[in-house]
Amino acid sequence: RVACSGGVDSLFSCAFVNQDNSTVIVYVNNTDTDEVTKLTATGDYSVYTTSDKYDLEKTAEGAAGDADISVPAMSVVTVVVK
């Protein structure tokens, strides 16, 4: 597990480094409000969302750096950085 911050008080977050050196960040939003957090990392990223609308579906991807990550209300968002 590595240190991380959601940057938004209403989000819970944790991060891990996998054996393949990819980093996984998990954000949990258990409020009724959509949130946006900033991803600052190197490498490409993929975003997977689980909510009443999505079932662990890829909802975004791109080159990391400073990227805005949408975390919908009542959802779990997993970001994989490679």
Is the sign of the CA dihedral 19, 69, 30, 10 positive or negative? positive
pLDDT at 8: 85
pLDDT at 6: 62
pLDDT at 40: 86
Of 24, 31, 22, give the one whose Cα is nearest residue 12: 31
**pLDDT tens digit string along 31-40?**
999 999 999 8
pTM: 0.91
Confidence at 78, pLDDT banded by 50, 70, 90: very high
pLDDT at 4: 77
pLDDT at 36: 95
